Amino acid sequence: MKSYLNYWLRMIRCAIVGPPIFYIWNSLLTFLFLTGVVAYIYQFQNGLIVTNLTDQVSWGAYIANFTFLVGVAAAAVLLVFPTYVLHRDDVKDVVLLGELMAFTAITMCLMFILVDLGRPDRFTHVMPVLGRLNFPRSVLAWDVVVLNGYLFLNLHVPGYLLYMTYKGQKPNKWLYIPFVFVSIAWAVSIHTVTAFLYSGLGGRPYWNTAILAPRFLVSAFAGGPAILIIVFTLVTLFTKLKVRPQVFDMLKKIAMVFLPINMFLFGSEIYKEFYTDSVHTESMRYLFFGSHGHAMLQPYIWASIVMSFAAMAIFYIPKLRQNSKMLIFACVLAVLGIWIEKGMGLIIPGFIPTPLGDMVEYTPSVVEFFVCLGIWSFGALLFTILAKVAVAIQVGELRENS
Amino acid sequence: MDNTDKEKINQWSERVSQRVDKILDQSVERRGFLKGLLGTVGGAAAASTAAGAIASEVLPESDFSWEKFFQEHYKVMTAEDKEKVFARIETETKRKYGVDVKVRDPQALDGVKFAYGLNLSKCNGSRMCVYACMKENNQSRDPQIQYIKVIEMDIGTLNLEKGDMYYEGESVPKAGKYYLPVQCHQCDNPPCAKVCPVEATWKEKDGIVVIDYDWCIGCRYCMAACPYEARRFNFSAPKVPKEEVNPDQGYLSNRMRPKGVVEKCHFCLHRTREGKNPACMEACPTGARKFGNILDPKSEVSMILKTKRVFVLKEELNTIPSFFYYFD
């Protein structure tokens, strides 16, 4: 009892005490998070009328960010698989950070869902006993199950391993290895189920495509390494954990494989739509070229395509990818490209035109912007703290006997 | 971490763990246990009151109550529960709108399955149905919610994307146009009910797809799923002028809706389940709307289905609508 309390107290202390740059960074994030809270209270009081959502475009920035972050969470499998299946020791150093990132991403996903609800006060309706989950008919009910399951898996495994490291004990294999293998399959399931949310709707031809789930997974494995490279560069820069070059090499290779596959799948979609040239092509025509005098999403999608190709070019030219600054630049481009393509390129055009042919455009309102920024800041803050504590335990600064 | 810090933390956790041990020990003693229990209950009560106060502070209409928070799904509620809930809604409506209303719960009848036929040869695009519906069903006037959308189409096409649902002008019908009203099709294979994560919307045995407005969480997945754009969301608290409130209300149909939930056409079930016609049909100046029981072979809708050229919208989606169109 005492030693466990001690463990928590020391972790909390480690999480809130740090060098000046740590305070500056955390204060900034806390401030941005609080602006998000204020924006959300405003939305909560007035209703979703303060967003730019309409009956026609009924999902927007919140659901787009949610979808993207499910991919970020799924990307943790890129570290879990090499560590536990291929037994790579170099990746083992960072696998806990990957799992904590997945935990953070899922937490953010749940926050994005909560802020999107018209009745957040009725969240108990999706819970067992208190609620009435429409399982297995509703894919959204499946999403509730898989996301919460993944949240638990990514809390349990790193939590247990960190505690054992802290105690200086050898972890009991049976208490975490089974969960690790479940989490590998589970990572695939979260993004598949999230894609099925959209692809299962016959009334939305733009989403009603079988390659949506593969596209989601591939984009997660293309954008995931990019995010991990950025995060690990920062970890190496600011903490005592020095991520080994082999890890970066592995992530670069994964990105080099999946970035082109991602573009290929997107290209297949584009071909199918435009060559068929049916009435259902209207969403994509609107997205790329505008339609009936509406063209709000045009700059987004072209920017996304340019970013993705630029990122690919940097990854594929050895001289450029070996330059660490260029590499980071490429990673930022890849992440932004995929983020825009998921949100403005996938979620929004699904609603335009509407099933009855109405054209209503959408771009996030100021309130939506600040709520999104708030959740992103919260995520960054949460991950900073989790990573700081995890690194302190891993490098041996924080141990029971230290 | 330096040693003094470590010591402090050590001391602190020692104190906490001693306290916890003490509480655990005390609870073995009966008196202590009771005392503790009283303390806990008192604390919980105080906490829930405080939480309630905060909640009613944040909710502008002081809408929150624990009773509502724990209200059960329509299908689970007992007759007594329902009575209480209906009474509560009546009181709330009185408070918010200053109108005495009666909330009822007409049930689906055996041997009845409703169908709606719309004669495209007759509809003249007057939109009388749209406004009659709004009046009957207490839709919000600001922002305005309408269940029926009338699309002005060029003669010779059924491509909805070429239609115009915002048409205006001096008079209807306009030359070269025909009018296609769309509302909830009460599908037999409803995508909206399938996707709802909390079963807040379902199909009743008389074919009407209903919504429990007190159960809906406002995720709007049903709106994404509906191929007929039939569902509307209460983006803000609905506003209806006092004198325009229809006091004859059904729990699953036209009673006042809360903010943040989805609503749609329900074939005026509080009327039709009691033998009346839907408000849109009564308002139609051309007789383009026909409503009835499809299980009765002598009903008008049954006759139309047998004798007219009939079609449904987006038949390829296999939603099996109870709402069909026909020509003379």
pLDDT at A159: 95
Q: Is B106 inside any structural domain?
A: no
Chain A residues with CB under 8 Å of B162 CB are: 357
Which of B79, B318, B57, B7 is closest to B188 using CA atoms? Answer: B318
pLDDT in tens, A83-107: 999 999 999 999 999 999 999 999 9
The average pLDDT across A34-63 equals 97
Considering the domain architecture, whether residues B67 and B146 belong to the same structural domain is answered as no
Count structural domains, chain B: 2
The percent of residues above 70 in pLDDT, for chain A, comes to 100
Secondary structure, 3-state, B89-130: HHHHHHHHHCCCCEEECCCCCCCCCEEEEEECCCCCCCCHHH
CA dihedral A153, A159, A160, A161 (to 10 degrees): 110
* Contact with chain B for residue A133, Cβ under 8 A: yes
> Within this chain, do residues B94 and B174 fall inside the same structural domain, yes or no?
no
Please give the interface size between A and B, counted as residue pairs whose CB atoms are below 8 Å apart: 182
Spatial neighbors of A293 by CB under 8 A, at least 6 apart, are none
Q: What share of chain A is helix, strand, coil (3-state, %, to 5)?
A: 75, 0, 25
pLDDT at residue B60 in the model: 47
Question: Average per-residue pLDDT in chain A?
Answer: 95
Residue B246 covered by a domain = yes
* Same domain membership, residue B130 and residue B85: no
Q: How confident is the model at residue A401 (pLDDT cuts 50, 70, 90)?
A: confident
The pLDDT value given to residue B186: 98
- Structure confidence at residue B4 (pLDDT): 72
Task: Please name the residues between 108 and 137 in chain B that touch chain A, using a CB distance below 8 Å.
Answer: none
Task: Name chain A contacts of B220, Cβ cutoff 8 Å.
Answer: 58-59, 116, 118
Q: Is B107 domain-assigned? A: no
Same domain, B208 and B173: yes
Residue B118 has pLDDT above 60, yes or no: yes
CA nearest to A81, candidates A1, A175, A185, A155: A185
Count of all residues that appear for chain A in the document:
402
Range of the structural domain that residue B19 is part of? 3-101
CB distance A64 to A347 below 8 Å = yes
pLDDT > 70? residue B27 = no
CA dihedral A212, A215, A216, A219 (to 10 degrees): -160
Interval B251-304: pLDDT, tens: 999 999 999 999 999 999 999 999 999 999 999 999 999 999 999 999 999 999
B55 lies in the same domain as B137: no
Would you place residue B146 in the very low, low, confident or very high pLDDT band (cuts 50, 70, 90)?
A: very high
The per-residue pLDDT for range B57-75, each reduced to its tens digit, is 555 455 788 888 889 999 9
B175 touches chain A (CB under 8 A): no
For the entire predicted model, the pTM comes to 0.91
Residue B323, beta-bridge partner list: B116
Chain B segment 10-69 residues within 8 A of A by beta carbon are 10, 12-14, 16-17, 20-21, 55, 58-60, 64, 69
Q: How far apart are alpha carbons A110 and A33 in whole angstroms?
A: 16
Put simply, the answer to whether B235 touches A49 (Cβ < 8 Å) is yes
Look at residue B35 and tell me whether its pLDDT is greater than 50.
no
Q: What does the alpha-carbon distance between residue B73 and residue A68 come to, in Å, rounded to a whole number? A: 33
- What are chain A's domains? 11-394 (1.20.1630.10)
Average pLDDT over residues A255-269: 97
**Of the residues B101, B131, B148, which one is the last residue of a structural domain?**
B101
Same domain, B23 and B121: no
Does residue B302 lie in a domain region?
yes
Residue ranges of B 132-161 with Cβ closer than 8 A to chain A: 143, 149, 151, 159-161
Please check whether residues B285 and B167 belong to one and the same domain.
yes
Asked which of B38, B69, B101 is the last residue of a domain, the reply is: B101
**Nearest beta carbon to residue B12 from set A9, A119, A131:** A9
Phi, psi of B114 (to 5 degrees): -80, 145
Domain check: are B140 and B194 in the same one? yes
Q: Which residue has the higher pLDDT, B155 or B34?
A: B155
Q: Per residue in B242-252, pLDDT tens?
A: 999 999 999 99
| Contact: A356, B12; criterion CB under 8 Å | no
- As a whole number, the mean pLDDT across chain B is 89
> Is B244 part of a structural domain of the chain?
yes
Residues 6+ apart with CB under 8 A from A58: A351, B220, B223, B224, B233
Q: What pLDDT is stored for residue B49 in this prediction?
A: 53
For residue B182, which residues of chain A lie inside 8 Å, CB to CB?
Answer: 356
3-class SS of residue B9: helix
Please check whether residue A100 touches B, CB under 8 A.
Answer: no
B26: pLDDT confidence band, cut at 50, 70 and 90?
A: low
- What is the predicted ipTM? 0.93
Tell me, what CATH number does B288's domain have?
A: 3.30.70.20
Residues forming a β-bridge with B324: B117
pLDDT-derived band at A8 (thresholds 50, 70, 90) equals very high
Q: Are B166 and B27 found together in one domain?
A: no
Q: Are residues B131 and B278 in the same domain?
A: yes
Task: Note whether A395 and A163 are within 8 A (CB).
Answer: no
Give the tens place of pLDDT for each residue, A179-217.
999 999 999 999 999 999 999 999 999 999 999 999 999
* B108 belongs to a structural domain: no
B185 in the same domain as B76: no
Among candidate residues B73, B101, B129, the one where a domain is terminated: B101
- Suggest the residue from B13, B61, B185, B201 to mutate for an interface test with chain A (most A CBs closer than 10 A): B13
Identify all chain A residues contacting B226, using CB atoms and an 8 Å cutoff: 203, 355
What is the structure's pLDDT at B51?
55
Q: What pLDDT is stored for residue B32 in this prediction?
A: 43
Which residues, in sequence order, are CB contacts of A152 under 8 Å at separation 6+? none
**Is B277 inside any structural domain?**
yes
> Span B85-95, mean pLDDT?
95
pLDDT of residue B62: 54
| A265 pLDDT above the threshold of 80 | yes
Q: Is the pLDDT of residue B37 over 90?
A: no
Torsion of CA A297, A300, A303, A304, to 10 degrees: -110
Task: Tell me if B151 is assigned to some domain.
Answer: yes
* Same-domain pairing of B67 and B145: no
